[in-house]
Amino acid sequence: MKNNTTQAIIRRALPLLMIALVLLAALISCTPDMDVGNNTELADQFMDHVIADDYAAAYGMVKATVTDSDFRAYWTTVQTVADGAKTYEMKQIGWNLNRSNGVTTRTTAYQAELDNGRTVLLRVVTQDGIEGIAGIHFSDITDFLASTEAFVPTVRVILWVVSALAMAFTVWMFVDCLRRKMKYKVVWAILIFFGLCFTFTVGETSNFSFNVGLFFQTSSIEADPGLLAVVTKLVIPVGAILYLCLRKKFTVDPKHPEGEVPADPFAQPETETVPEADGSHPAPSAEADANEGGEES
């Protein structure tokens, strides 16, 4: 009796433990570490030199990798965008970390809004062994952001509603799985939370990819200034949909537990014939003949 009680407790606690592990894995995977590629101090210094039109100080930050003549031509383009600006507000929008042959390269992207009405993308690259900035990218993204503001917010709201409905559907299927008597319940309880994530990138950089993972992401659309492209992510709860289609097949009939074959109500009882001492079989009785006759009629 005590054994059965322990097994019942384990069966009830196991799904809850699985949910806790799934949630923990999702939180860990979704937590960005922006400090890993942080070049903010260098980016602020460079932007201060741009606003002050201090060519000498700006070139001093990049002279390890750029010649004076090349940077002077580049500086003319930078000052065209920053003309008239006195202040700016900047935020980090992305980063990338690459390690190759023992050398670490950090690339950090920033979006800076100037008070002259322009918005720029600043990408700063640093590398082990190189003092200052190893690479710099400064471009005007004002027109790109204006072109995407016409549709991105609307599509974002639509995808948010779709994601909320998909999440509600997934939770519904999970609760149904817990309440249903079925085979492989624990496997299904975990599989329900898996989905397919399709990513479409359209713009100067175009790409398509997909991956299978836990269904704790939401569909989204974003205008990525770093790529000058619109990135759309569509998440489909494949696990929940698969469970909906196959749940009846794995459901156990409460009247006939798994492994038990229901008896045929019309089956006749089998009678064993015992041979006589001389090896002959006794003749059927008159009662048996009568029963057979009744069945034929």
pLDDT greater at residue 246 or residue 276: 246
The tokens describing 104, both together, are 């670490």
Alpha-carbon gap, residue 193 to 235, rounded angstroms = 12
Percent of the chain scoring above 70 in pLDDT:
72
Tell me which residue has tokens 């970390």.
Answer: 97
pLDDT at 23: 53
Lowest mean pLDDT among 31-45, 126-140, 244-258, 269-283: 269-283
Alpha-carbon gap, residue 276 to 253, rounded angstroms = 46
Give domain limits for the chain: 35-140, 149-250
Span 9-35, average pLDDT? 51
pLDDT at 259: 47
pLDDT at 33: 43
Three-class DSSP category at 75 = helix
pLDDT at 95: 86
Nearest to 225 by CA among 93, 32, 74, 116: 93
Q: Is the pLDDT of residue 168 over 80?
A: yes
pLDDT at 206: 86
Tell me which residue has tokens 């898996």.
Answer: 194
pLDDT at 255: 63
Residues 28-73: tens digit of each pLDDT: 444 444 444 468 899 999 999 999 999 999 999 999 889 999 999 9
Residue 145 near residue 138 (C-beta atoms within 8 A): no
Alpha-carbon gap, residue 235 to 196, rounded angstroms = 6
Share the mean pLDDT of the chain.
80
The tokens describing 50, both together, are 């741009």
The tokens describing 177, both together, are 């799985």
Lowest mean pLDDT among 65-69, 80-84, 142-146, 212-216: 212-216
Task: Specify which of 9-23, 97-111, 279-293 reaches the highest per-range mean pLDDT.
Answer: 97-111
pLDDT greater at residue 296 or residue 60: 60
pLDDT at 38: 65
Nearest to 130 by CA among 182, 40, 62: 62
Residues 80-93: tens digit of each pLDDT: 999 999 999 999 98
- Which residues are CB-neighbours of 275 under 8 A, at least 6 positions away? 281
Lowest mean pLDDT among 41-50, 139-148, 151-160, 250-259: 250-259
Rg of the chain over CA atoms, in angstroms?
36
pLDDT at 129: 87
The tokens describing 46, both together, are 């460079």
pTM above 0.85, yes or no: no
Alpha-carbon gap, residue 275 to 152, rounded angstroms = 90
For the 35-140 domain, the top CATH level (class) is alpha beta
